Amino acid sequence: HAFTPLLREILHLADVICGNALEIKQLMDFSSNMGYNKNEQDKQRQLCTAFGFSYVITTLGAKGSSLYDFSDNSFHLSSPSPFVDQDAVVDTVGAGDSFIGALLSRRLNGDSWKDSAAFANIVAGESIKREGTQRSFPYMRDIQSLLVN
């Protein structure tokens, strides 16, 4: 592929990578020196080693998300939102976008990556209860009322 050298160069510039399970698997496949490993923590550690990432975050749909911190070799699984009943799922399109937006919003406001991911799971969980993408994203007041109750 003509873009392979450029993509490798760009990936080596990233400090944090976030993707769904399929995207993370594709990154693993992209790196020719990695064998496929089913253990989520090992996958994320291998990606950090291969590309120089400090953090790998994987969205896992109904299972929540995982976070690997290369600096201290820590692995965290964040549970899916406790406020979502699987029967209430209307549309999952846009859930990843709402996750990323919420993750970065909390991180930029000083939360740890771990706490930011847990919050992002709640936001993504609320977004799948409505149809559409942007219009399904919850307002902060909606999330705060969930957390208070």
- How confident is the prediction along the chain (149 residues), in pLDDT tens digits per residue? 566 888 888 999 999 999 998 998 888 877 655 555 567 888 888 889 889 999 999 999 988 999 999 999 999 988 888 888 888 899 999 999 999 999 999 999 999 999 999 999 999 999 999 998 888 899 999 998 888 86
Global pTM reads 0.87
- Report which secondary-structure segment, H or E, holds 79: none
What does the block give as tokens for 57?
């975050």
Q: Which residues contact 26 (CB under 8 A, 6 or more apart)?
A: none
pLDDT of 2 reads 61
Q: At what angle do helices 40-51 and 21-30 cross, to 10 degrees?
A: 50
CA 83 vs CA 51, 58, 88, 95: distances in Å: 36, 20, 10, 15
Task: Round to whole Å and give the CA distance between 76 and 85.
Answer: 23
